[in-house]
Amino acid sequence: MKRIFAILLLIFAIIGFESNAEAVDAKANFVAGTIDESNILGDAETTSDTFAVLMGTYANDVPNAASRVVVYGGACSRPSACGTREIVTISASSCTGTSPSRVCTLTITARNQESTTHSGDWVAGSKVDFSPTAGTFGEYAPLDSPEFTGNVAIDATYTSIHTFHEDNWNEDDATWTMVTTGPLVHVTGNTTTVTATNTEAIVAGVTYKVTITGTGGGATATYTLGGITGTTIAASGAIAITDYITASTTASMIITPSNTCTVSITSITIEKLTDATGDLTVDGNLIVRSPVYLRGNLYLNKGTVTYPSLSFSDETNMGFYWNYEGQIGLSIAGVRSFRFLNYGFIIDSLAAYIKWSDTDIVRLAANSLAMRTSTNPQTFSIYETYTNVSNYEYYSLDAGVTTADTLTIQALSAGTGSANLNIALMPKGTGKVYANGLIVRKNSSISCVATVCTDVPTSESIYITTTGTDTMTVADGTTAGTRRFFSHKVDGGQIIITPTNFSAGTSITMADAGDTMEIEWNGAKWDMVVFYGGVLNP
């Protein structure tokens, strides 16, 4: 369903109006006539009352399809230039006499059909114009390429579904107050909402015209209708809101104030737009030479990959289209390249890549993805925690960043991040971890100073240079399965190694170069795994 409502601004220059006989006839009939002194339009007259119009030279009768007329001051050249005017809805007309004395009597259905309200009598000589509708154009002139100056309004039919009265708002006389027909006032110091009750339920997908008037105070308030947020209610000054809202839910109007808001609302109207009224049907192209502003939804046809629904005048096969249920396709030069789904997106191009200035994510071939950029080394990181650039825990995989020609997997942290982060290779069941090459364990070489090796590295392999009768103490491990390997590399004496908790004895003495031992932490003590050339002390 297509709704074009409110005020449709079509700004054109009048070119050639006088050269077209049908256009002249239509132009003349926009000025219907003037209020006749036999039956003026008094201020108090209302539904079913009548008033008389002395028809203009070219006007003849009131068009059958004209349900509205605009009445404005006799000194004005046109309604839009007149400060005082009123739109009146009529239900019937009857005409007598002949031109230039032909008088038509119009029966009133409703008055003041604009946001402004006119007061006072419309006296003889006040001008009366017809609101142009499809019927008036068809009846008076099948227009051929008409051009207009000013604004053209195509009004829909509205049905009021709300009466502004305290009975129709759940105000509690504490956070919100209202007596009979208003105003509806918020009391500062809370953010309690207030909800409207309507004569009929809000329907999702239906468009509603909402007007709000009043005076702002203290801070702003917001409102929603059908789950859609309308214009913010101002914190100060006069409030004059007119919104067209297409509901997405069945929720009624809900007003939510700021804590210090003291808004005073004097009027709220909610009107439902009747389907298939106020529509504009264009068989050809609609060409607009200035920006287009929409106050409602924009509905497009499905389109195809060759002719997308939303495309470009210079390249009509590039743009967006409806692929099928739950998918929007992106066509590039008539080829589907990308799809947006309700659960993600799909890249359809076989040569697809995502590019930044220094990193590319590239599809190399079938089932093959890469991260690269020319000769720049790349890093991929997975974060365990991230607070800011100075507080984190993460693991990185880099190619040549940490060490040239090396794939490095490492854990990093900063700030309150843990100082000890593990990296585990965990096969399933009886699965194995294979190494197709040499494994080099973390190692350190130390030389004992003053016969005591106090700074014992945490490396798995430790190569020792002795300088006399040296001693070394090995603290308890932290993780069961941890191994430590010791080698007497350079003989300058002997080394006595004492694990704090040792299951095989008290210590080991290695006196000769080449003496080695390896121990493993079992969770409570160090166990001997490998022992060569030394002496195990009981």
Instruction: Give pLDDT tens digits for 310-354.
Output: 998 888 899 999 887 778 999 988 988 888 888 888 888 777 778
User: What pLDDT, in 10s, does the model give residues 366-394?
Assistant: 888 899 988 899 999 999 999 999 999 99
Whether the predicted pLDDT of 144 surpasses 60? no
Q: What is the DSSP string of 430-471?
A: T-----SS--PPPEEEEE-BTTEE------SEEEEE-SSEEE
The pLDDT assigned to 150 comes to 65
The pLDDT assigned to 31 comes to 53
Structure confidence at residue 166 as a pLDDT band (50, 70, 90): very high
Structure confidence at residue 131 as a pLDDT band (50, 70, 90): low
Can you give the length of the chain in residues?
538
User: What pLDDT, in 10s, does the model give residues 482-523?
Assistant: 899 999 999 999 999 999 999 999 999 999 999 999 999 999
Task: Tell me the Cα Rg of the chain.
Answer: 43
Whether the predicted pLDDT of 26 surpasses 50? no
The pLDDT assigned to 367 comes to 87
User: What pLDDT, in 10s, does the model give residues 210-244?
Assistant: 999 999 988 999 999 999 999 999 999 999 999 99
Is the pTM of the predicted complex or chain greater than 0.75? no
For 414-429, what is the mean pLDDT? 93
For 188-193, what is the mean pLDDT? 95
The per-residue pLDDT of the chain, averaged, comes to 84
Whether the predicted pLDDT of 59 surpasses 70? no
Count helices and strands (H / E) in the chain: 2, 39
